[in-house]
Structure 1
Amino acid sequence: MLDVLRKIVQEVNAADDLEAALKLIVKRVQRSMRTQVCSVYLLDPASQEYVLMATEGLNQEAVGNIRLAPAEGVVGKVASRAEPINLENVADHPSYRYMTGSGEENFHSFLGAPIIHQRKVLGVLVVQQKKQRRFDESEEAFLITMSAQLAGVIAHAEVTGAISVNHGGEGIRKDARFDGVSGAQGVGLGVAMVVSPPADLDAVPDQRIEDIDAELERFRSALTRVRHDIKVVGRSLARRLKGEEQALFDVYLRMLDDNALAGEIEHQIKQGQWAPGALRRVVHEHVHQFEMMDDAYLRERATDIRDLGRRVLACLQEGGATSCPIYPDNMVLVAEEVTPAMLGEVPTDKLVGLVSVNGSGNSHAAILARSMGIPTVMGAVDLPATRVHKREIIIDGYSGRVFVDPSDELTGYYADIMQEEQELSRGLEQLRDLPAQTQDGHRVPLWVNTGLITDVSLALQRGAEGVGLYRSEVPFMIKEFFPSEAEQIESYRRQLEPFAPSPVTMRTLDIGGDKSLSYFPIDEDNPSLGWRGIRVTLDHPEIFLVQVRAMLLASEGLDNLRILLPMVASVVEVDEAVALINQAFAELVDDGYQLIQPEIGVMVEVPAAVYQVRHFAKRVDFLSVGSNDLTQYLLAVDRNNPRVADLYDSYHPAVLTALKQIVDEAHREQVQVSICGELAGEPIGALLLMAMGYDVLSMSSTSLPKVKSAIRGVSSEQAKLFLDTALSFDEPESVRQALEKMLADAGLGHLDRPHAPQ
């Protein structure tokens, strides 16, 4: 049976659409189980009826015409109970209802299994026989397994609009929702412009040539045009990007160096292969190598290489001639894989959003989008990109959702959000130079999280008082090799100098998990629990010491550096890292540099650290809680996994209890505690953290005005009431609902982040 099941699943996954898949299912299941009937009923969301969608054994004229209300008939009973029903004679069941015209009166035995996807009953899979008998356990197990496999196919096909259960139309339905992950926060309403690759590498055949020199010249000419185009794209974005972001285009150019892709392609041409075939071979080899890797960042490099290959091929095929599309105002760029070059080719003054069917928050395009402030959704894998061109579209960068062909009601809902955010943003500008201070005088420093140079200017514009987390891995991620000490000094100085004398907290290299380097691959089965953070740098002290030296040298004369150690789980790691930092400091002082010993801190982001806070506090100058990873590890939830992402909730009672315990334990040792996760950037979360006693809140610069307004809008006693209320509940949804009501009652409901409609 297992082999049969696998074969059916493979055939179904290869079906063109849901209708074909359903016909295949009923035919294969009927044959495999040797029954006379197999049928599939699906829930029509509009009418809330179960509709016969495919059958093998009943009258075909009944398909689409037989409809059952919820809980009507035995099929409805299977759906309402969400469990199988196995009957020797279905007519004896109290819920039995004869369906006129179906031809089922000749069949007695009945086995139905619910089709459930993510806790929702989508339909019922049924087999029937003339003979009165109960289906045995193996048959029941097979049908249950088959229905579970079918659930994913149906869910995917329905969301992409492959077929409508009421046969009432084609295309994408109104308010069709597609889920991805947030690439950059914000809301965008506009017209989808689908950008497709300029050439199809997969279609290029092999072909032998005689004149190798002429073919080399043709290839080099195409390469020159592509290099020129990329430089033009980089210059077109130069006004909106700064050094490190512009370096992403340098990465593209380096890929085309003679010692990289270009050299390998020319080698193939010299062996007698024509340029397009040589290009296809080399690009496919590199893409395959990167796509086989588990690491998210490395997989994104495959996207970059594929994009470059298509561009070179377009020049080879068409002499570089390209048509200039007309871009509408309020445009949402949609592509299978958005690349930095695509982003640079559209007028950014018309761009209101980005959607990438593939890709993640680690992609170069997502990095640029965040820097440019463009609402972005990545990884919307169910979105049928080829069918949304020039359709109305809404981007919800807060929840990672995309809505196609939105109704007037949904459009109005998001238009109101955009207008409120614009008005709120203008209203909060006046708070820039005011302190984050409660109505009874309690002050909380608000710092920012940075990574790109653009983050610095935005943070200063919004009144940041320091940097609680500088992600030092960003300069490493956009290069082809480890940056030199001089390059690191330059990067760190550009972060430290604008904030001086305010503190800048620089986290040491935090790679591994969902962050890796193309030139330093980490291939693991379970990267989140693997070689990452401080574990990597302690194993490579030569990398750690160069980085620490660069940080110290960059701080000379500024004296505002703080060093933060990531992913620490034991005091041994703290002791080893502190010893290396002291070593680097002593060596530089001996060399004559005028330095001040920086404060050293530890990130509390794994459960083991929660229970060692006092031990850490005795060894370092401050603690910083990484609430994103801490929430993920406490709840055993990968927040980037769409199947369980809904379980990731920073308002979970276990998370709130842990956060309170951390600050209490640290203050017993009289050590400062800051927090730099997303919770600190939410008005409600900030009030809870302030009431817990956190000394510093660090967040993205876009969150800072709202958080400051929330703090200034309450007293310390009100904030304490928020915390007491939150800790009184035993599940996160009740916590959130109660706190949202309290925020609204305090006259601060406008500060709460918008909720995507269900």
Structure 2
Amino acid sequence: MEVFQGIPVFGGIAEGEIFFFPKDKRNIVCVRISNVEKETERYEKACEQIIEQLDVLYEKALTEFGESRAKILDIYKLIVQDREYRESVKSLIRDKRVNAEYAVNYATDELCERFLSLGDEYLRVRTSDIRDISGKIIDILNGDTGTRADSIKEPVIAVADELTPSETIKMDKSKILAIVTKQGSTISHTSILAKTMNIPAIIGVTVKKGWNGRFAIIDGYTGQIFIDPDEETRRLYNEKRSRAESIKRQYSAFKSRQDITKGGRRVLLCANISDLSDVDAAVESNAAGIGLLRSEFLYLKSGNYPTEDEQFEAYKSVALKMNNKEVVIRTCDMGGDKIPQYMHMPRESNPAMGYRGIRLSLDRKDMLITQLRAIYRASAYGNISVMYPLIISLDEVMSILKINEEVKEELAADKLPFGKVRQGIMIETPAAAIISDILAEQVDFLSIGTNDLTQYTLAVDRQNARIDKYYDSDHPAILRLIRMTVENAHRLGKKVSICGELAADLSLTDTFIEMGVDGLSVSVPYIYKLREHIINSEL
């Protein structure tokens, strides 16, 4: 038996035969060409063909992974269609008179080197996407349209130096037991897809081609891989898997019970959703409501701002499915690492601290008004609230409330029905937490976004893997800010929820209950564990 240690990406236990994905070997040579126009046309046709393939793959991803994950392929399309990238390839063909394959490879290397030189972890991870899609263009130019995933016939543990997002999406999910790779990051698209597939995933493993066909056990909780495990290890993991399945059944038994501690404290347990495909799971989990509807998916869906009617239909469908349970819609939190090309926003050296959240919405007032009109119209069909991200001042809140009044007056004049929309703000900055007593006077509720609150309080960029060890979400400073916010809000009779990743940390659940936090909003898979913990709490 051989044991290897990696970095766990998604928990779970799997056992089966290893299928090793050999690394793509593209033999790219520089060939002098005589007909520049013909070679440029060949490149253009390859781009058209890859766009068609991405559209087909998008439909598969939409069905199997949901809309937010399918957006990965939109990123690929943006890379292929990027004017600067395409012109770089064509200028190489024109000026250097080289073949399209070589030009694509050279332009890709230059772009990736430029990204890597910036020292940004997010951009470093994105170079994998650029190389993936450029490799597909080269394959088309070479007449090679097959994929490594096509050769999987039976359920296997997929092992590779690196799996690209397009390969992961092409896989038949029923035939993948687990994913193990040497390369990758916990924030890479492939890692995110593995989580969505709900299968164990481990990165950072020195994988070997000789593993192909060998039996293995994958522990996604610890990041361990057991190659040719002995009988005792198999027995231990059979027991571990049985316990995990038993716990899962126990969680299901809590589905219909209220989220009340043994001491009688009620905690609203809500769901975070990123697109419409998540709503059914939220309903199935018996969540008390939607504590955070990330509206950005509508802005990333196409090549332009979503219309009022498009947003209205989306919000209305969620409200109807939730059957009068509260749906809290966060206004567009675009910016930072999410920048659609049509918004024409320049790249920033420190985007997390830049032009994003409510700053963008207040600056582009028409965008905010369109979204608020859609939200108010949808409120006629259910229990809808709205909250605003990245608040730092009372002036911002007063400006928002003024715009709300203008929107209601416009809708009344247009004779369009709307209901009462509760107003909330996100506490994501130390500034907002410190003046939460002042802010809470003007709104109906507060929601603490612990992801941003942590990075701003500790001065730690959560996208930078090099300083990940300093990202301590339960740092005493963070807990003090949360307690301060809860106490300030409760003095004014306002409720407070937590919607960041910290809300799902079971080691802190009792701490939050003791603080008086009124609600926890988490991704749907965490609801069952949290519900069991709350029901069994002695508080």
Check whether TM > 0.5: yes
Q: Distance in 2 between matches of 1:573 and 1:196?
A: 54
Q: State the superposition RMSD in angstroms.
A: 3.7
Q: Distance in 1 between matches of 2:321 and 2:157?
A: 35
Cα pair 1:361 1:367 within 8 Å, conserved: yes
**Compared CA separation, residues 283 and 548, structure 1 to 2 (3 A):** farther
**Compared CA separation, residues 407 and 605, structure 1 to 2 (3 A):** farther
* Corresponding residue of 1:575: 398
- Give per-residue Cα distances to partners, 1:509-538, cap 9 Å, x unaligned: 224455544555554444444443223333
Cα pair 1:680 1:698 within 8 Å, conserved: yes
Q: Distance in 2 between matches of 1:513 and 1:411?
A: 46
Instruction: Compare CA radii of gyration and give the structure with the larger one.
Output: 1
* Corresponding residue of 2:373: 549
* Corresponding residue of 1:176: 4
Indicate whether 1:615 and 2:443 are aligned: no
> How far has the Cα of 1:635 moved from its partner?
3.9
* Corresponding residue of 2:157: 331
* Corresponding residue of 1:533: 357
Give the partner amino acid of 1:541: K
* Corresponding residue of 2:100: 275
> How far has the Cα of 1:701 moved from its partner?
0.8
> How far has the Cα of 1:464 moved from its partner?
0.8
* Corresponding residue of 2:295: 472
Cα pair 1:261 1:282 within 8 Å, conserved: yes
Could you list the runs of 5+ residues in structure 1 that have no partner in the other structure? Answer: 1-172, 720-758
**Compared CA separation, residues 301 and 614, structure 1 to 2 (3 A):** same
Q: Distance in 2 between matches of 1:228 and 1:659?
A: 49
Give the partner amino acid of 1:570: S
Q: Which shifted more, 226-235 or 569-578?
A: 226-235
SS of structure 2 residue aligned to 1:557: helix
* Corresponding residue of 1:488: 311
* Corresponding residue of 1:506: 329
Cα pair 1:303 1:337 within 8 Å, conserved: no
* Corresponding residue of 1:311: 136
Cα pair 1:176 1:406 within 8 Å, conserved: no
Q: Distance in 2 between matches of 1:481 and 1:394?
A: 47
Give the partner amino acid of 2:6: F
> How far has the Cα of 1:499 moved from its partner?
1.3
Question: Could you say which structure has the higher helix fraction?
Answer: 2
**Compared CA separation, residues 236 and 515, structure 1 to 2 (3 A):** closer
Give the partner amino acid of 2:282: A
TM-score for both structures, normalised by structure 1:
0.62
Cα pair 1:254 1:260 within 8 Å, conserved: no
* Corresponding residue of 1:598: 421
* Corresponding residue of 2:65: 241
* Corresponding residue of 1:701: 524
Aligned pairs for 1:405-444 (under 5 A) are: 405=227, 416-444=239-267
Which of 6, 20, 26 is the aligned partner of 1:200?
A: 26
Q: Which shifted more, 262-271 or 628-637?
A: 262-271
> How far has the Cα of 1:595 moved from its partner?
1.1
> How far has the Cα of 1:627 moved from its partner?
2.3
Number of residues of Structure 1 aligned to a counterpart in Structure 2: 534
> How far has the Cα of 1:631 moved from its partner?
3.3
- Give per-residue Cα distances to partners, 1:410-455, cap 9 Å, x unaligned: 7766655443332212222232222112234433221011113332
Higher relative contact order (CA 8 A, sep 6+): 2
Give the partner amino acid of 1:430: A
TM-score for both structures, normalised by structure 2:
0.84
Give the partner amino acid of 1:621: D
Aligned pairs for 1:651-730 (under 5 A) are: 651-714=474-537, 718-719=538-539
**Compared CA separation, residues 514 and 376, structure 1 to 2 (3 A):** farther
Give the partner amino acid of 2:4: A
> How far has the Cα of 1:349 moved from its partner?
0.7
* Corresponding residue of 1:111: none
- Give per-residue Cα distances to partners, 1:628-678, cap 9 Å, x unaligned: 333344444445555553454444443333322221221100001111122
**Compared CA separation, residues 371 and 178, structure 1 to 2 (3 A):** closer
Cα pair 2:503 2:509 within 8 Å, conserved: yes
Cα pair 1:332 1:393 within 8 Å, conserved: no
Which of 410, 423, 432 is the aligned partner of 1:587?
A: 410
Cα pair 1:511 1:533 within 8 Å, conserved: yes
SS of structure 2 residue aligned to 1:175: strand
> How far has the Cα of 1:243 moved from its partner?
4.3
> How far has the Cα of 1:211 moved from its partner?
7.8
Q: Distance in 1 between matches of 2:29 and 2:51?
A: 22
Cα pair 2:261 2:534 within 8 Å, conserved: yes
Which of 352, 369, 394 is the aligned partner of 2:194?
A: 369
Could you list the runs of 5+ residues in structure 2 that have no partner in the other structure? Answer: none
- Give per-residue Cα distances to partners, 1:368-399, cap 9 Å, x unaligned: 4343333445xx4x544566853666666567
What percent of counterpart residues are identical?
29
Cα pair 1:650 1:679 within 8 Å, conserved: yes
> How far has the Cα of 1:281 moved from its partner?
4.5
Q: Distance in 1 between matches of 2:21 and 2:371?
A: 40
Q: Distance in 1 between matches of 2:374 and 2:113?
A: 36
Cα pair 2:68 2:274 within 8 Å, conserved: no
**Compared CA separation, residues 501 and 265, structure 1 to 2 (3 A):** same
